[in-house]
Each structure stands twice: as structure tokens, then as C-alpha cells.
Amino acid sequence: MHKQEHAEHSFTAVPESIAAARAFTEQTLEAWRVTGRMDDVRLCVSELASNAVNHGTPTEDGGHVFHVRIDADDTLIRVEVEDDDPLSTPRVRQPAEGDTGGRGMLIVESLSAAWGYESHDADGKAVWTEFFTSRA
């Protein structure tokens, strides 16, 4: 029988929250003793949180938030980053050598077992990524 874990946290969509999302992910997985893919998971969370900060839709007061959800059992970690931008569609790009951006989803695709996104109509989207792992 697999033990199922779940955690989530909301962050203000500012650049400093990217590091906070990484820290939340690391602390959560360490508490669950699911650390086998920690570096890959942390890097992917950083990329997805960066996208949420850079592409989220500001509210009337000029701010916006993103949410990180983590689910894990004995063999799989699933991370979702939800933002309030219903229009941007995450996709893997092939940036030119001199390009300074556009590699985030390429990194996510190369490190994870699977990734995708779910549209929440006018309310935004959740981008998810999954990793096979085992408990420490």
C-alpha cells in the first residue's frame, strides 16, 4: 500500500517567491522522506514558478499569486504550479544559442517523467510535472 502525501502553499507572484517555492518544495519532500529526485524537482519548481511570476495576470490591486501543490507516494512525485493566466500556453521551445530565455519548459521536459497543463477556463491554468522516485 502506498502512503499518499499532499501539501500546498500560495505565494505572492514576485521574484523573491521563486526561492520560497523551491524552499517549500524541498522542506516538504524532506519531511516526507521523498528526496531521491530533489535537485530535479527543485529546478522544475523554480522554472514553473518563474513562469507564474512572469506571465501571471495582475489583479485590480496590481498583484497576483501562484499556488504550488505537491503530491507524492512511494514511487511518484507530482508538482503543480497554478497561476491566474488563462491565455499563455506552456510549450517546449528550441531557443537559439544566444537566446537568454525560453529554456524553462525544455528543462522541465528533460528532467521529468511527464508534464502537461490543465486549463481552468477564465481562472488560469495549472502546469504539472511528475517524477519517479522512492522514499529515503
pLDDT in tens, 5-61: 999 999 998 899 999 999 999 999 999 998 889 999 999 999 999 999 887 766 566
Residue with cell 537566446: 99
What confidence tier does 93 reach under pLDDT thresholds 50, 70, 90?
A: confident
For the entire predicted model, the pTM comes to 0.87
Looking at residue 1, what is its pLDDT? 40
Q: Once rounded to an integer, what is the mean pLDDT over residues 96-110?
A: 78
